[in-house]
């Protein structure tokens, strides 16, 4: 049985209510989740069916959950916090939300790049930040790397989200790791110079901007494109057909990958259940649910992927440890501010 509590906004209302009891229970897990995908319910149902442990879920955005756990302090009933993007996981880590855990199963199942060095949090699904191009206006052979987005040839042609978007912050954080802060800032400035318009909207809006001809190139997470391809709306599918997808940097470090991840909360009253839940998320069954539910790439090799993802074949992914994306986040934000990436 899944007990689902969706958090209300504003924060004052969020903090006013208590969703769970604080005592430990042999058959319960209290999950604070910033993932907003209805398909995740299948994960929780499968975990309960396998273990008999009921999942109490409280949802909100990442900053709200961090604030709530911090204010609840030692009395927090939270066992696990789950969110998306290494930058947000790192922010939770900096606030002391997570505890170190050791799990031979997680060490065996998950690639080293998907594990925090101290076991504070783990990546369980992958999302690739891909480049999209207008099939009529752009030869895909002209753009093979993220670095190419800075090429003066594409002046006035790039659509991308604002600098306060965590996905872009993590992309720039990866550039800092690979090139150093100075070169990463030069890249960011050149991308700003190539903007087709001021940043606006979400990832889907960037892809639709390419389809409409407003821009020639865009950057967005891969699953937004898959949603358009699978949409019940004819206009969405038609827009997707006008757009091609590129997995960049195949001849060097590989495409930038971020995560959906989770960690055990420092004061978890049901710690053993929490670790068991994380180990379940690394199982083949859970990995297939991530892949089918939100069109994300599994972290575990060999797990069946969504048919669209399967059709793309194998490609190289950047294997830097995801914790680095969080560590470089403050510098990425400063660079965005300096170059005027709004």
pLDDT in tens, 127-143: 999 999 999 999 999 99
Rounded to whole angstroms, the Cα distance separating 209 from 227 reads: 16
Q: How many residues make up the chain in this entry?
A: 342
Rounded to whole angstroms, the Cα distance separating 45 from 304 reads: 20
Q: Which pLDDT score is estimated for 291?
A: 84
With left for phi above 0 and alpha for psi between -120 and 50, is residue 23 left, alpha or beta?
beta
Say if CB 22 and CB 265 are below 8 A apart.
no
pLDDT digits (tens, 9 = 90+) for 185-225: 999 999 999 999 999 999 999 999 999 999 999 999 999 99
Mean pLDDT of 43-50: 96
**Which helix (H) or strand (E) element contains residue 174?**
helix 166-179
Q: Is the pTM of this model over 0.75?
A: yes
Q: Which two structure tokens, joined as six digits, stand for 63?
A: 């900053």
Mean pLDDT of 15-25: 51
- Which tops the pLDDT comparison, 247 or 306? 247
Q: Which pLDDT score is estimated for 4?
A: 47
On the question of pLDDT at 18 being above 50, the answer is no
Q: Which pLDDT score is estimated for 25?
A: 63
Concatenate the DSSP letters of all residues of 93-106 into one string: HHTT-B-----HHH
Percent of the chain with pLDDT over 90: 87
Task: Report residue 20's pLDDT band, with 50, 70 and 90 as the boundaries.
Answer: low
- Whole-angstrom CA distances from 200 to 168, 210, 239, 307 are 13, 14, 19, 31
Report residue 82: phi and psi, to 5°.
-125, 135
pLDDT digits (tens, 9 = 90+) for 170-185: 999 999 999 999 999 9
pLDDT digits (tens, 9 = 90+) for 71-104: 999 999 999 999 999 999 999 999 999 999 999 9
16: buried, middle or exposed (CB in 10 Å: 19+, 13-18, 0-12)? exposed
Q: How many CA atoms lie within 13 A of 42 on its CB side?
A: 13
Mean pLDDT of 308-335: 95
Cis peptide before 10 (omega within 30 of 0): yes
On the question of pLDDT at 306 being above 80, the answer is yes
On the question of pLDDT at 5 being above 60, the answer is no
On the question of pLDDT at 11 being above 70, the answer is no
On the question of pLDDT at 146 being above 60, the answer is yes
Q: 297: closest CA among 254, 233, 338?
A: 254
Report residue 296: phi and psi, to 5°.
-90, 160
Q: Which pLDDT score is estimated for 10?
A: 38
On the question of pLDDT at 258 being above 60, the answer is yes
Domains defined along the chain, listed by start: 2-126+258-313 (3.40.190.10), 127-255+324-339 (3.40.190.10)
Task: Report residue 37's pLDDT band, with 50, 70 and 90 as the boundaries.
Answer: confident
Say if CB 168 and CB 160 are below 8 A apart.
yes
CB atoms within 10 A of CB 34: 23
Q: Which pLDDT score is estimated for 2?
A: 44
Q: Which pLDDT score is estimated for 26?
A: 73
Give CA 28 to chain center in angstroms.
27
Q: Indicate the average pLDDT of the chain.
A: 92
Rounded to whole angstroms, the Cα distance separating 56 from 43 reads: 13
């Amino acid at each position: 049985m899944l007990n689902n509590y969706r958090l209300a906004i504003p924060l004052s209302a969020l903090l006013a209510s208590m969703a769970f009891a604080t005592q430990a229970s042999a058959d319960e897990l209290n999950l604070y989740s910033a993932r907003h995908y209805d398909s995740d319910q299948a994960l929780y149902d499968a975990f309960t069916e396998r273990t008999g442990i009921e999942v109490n879920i409280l949802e909100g955005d990442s900053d709200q959950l961090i604030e709530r756990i911090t204010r609840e302090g030692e009395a927090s009933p939270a066992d696990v916090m789950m969110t998306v993007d290494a930058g947000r996981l790192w922010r939770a880590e900096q606030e002391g939300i997570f505890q170190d855990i050791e799990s031979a199963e997680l060490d065996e199942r998950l690639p080293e790049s998907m594990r925090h060095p101290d076991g504070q949090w783990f990546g369980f699904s992958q999302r690739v930040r891909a480049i999209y191009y207008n099939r009529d206006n752009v030869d895909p052979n002209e753009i093979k790397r993220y670095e190419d987005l800075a090429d003066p040839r594409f002046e006035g042609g790039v659509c991308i989200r604002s600098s306060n978007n965590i996905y872009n912050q993590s992309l720039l954080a990866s550039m800092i790791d690979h090139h150093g802060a100075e070169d990463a800032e030069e890249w960011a400035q050149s991308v700003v110079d190539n903007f087709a318009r001021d940043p606006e909207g979400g990832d889907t809006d960037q892809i639709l901007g390419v389809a409409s001809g407003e821009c020639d190139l865009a950057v967005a997470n891969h699953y937004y494109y898959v949603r358009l391809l699978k949409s019940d709306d004819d206009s969405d599918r038609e827009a997707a057909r006008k757009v091609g997808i590129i997995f960049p940097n195949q001849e060097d470090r590989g495409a930038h990958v971020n995560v959906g991840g989770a960690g055990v909360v420092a004061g978890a009253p049901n710690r053993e259940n929490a670790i068991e839940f994380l180990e379940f998320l690394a199982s083949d069954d859970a990995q297939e649910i991530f892949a089918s539910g939100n069109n994300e790439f599994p972290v575990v090799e060999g797990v069946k992927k969504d048919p669209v993802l399967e059709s793309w074949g194998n490609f190289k992914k950047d294997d830097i440890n995801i914790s680095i994306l969080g560590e470089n986040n403050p510098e990425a934000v400063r660079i965005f501010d300096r170059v005027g990436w709004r």
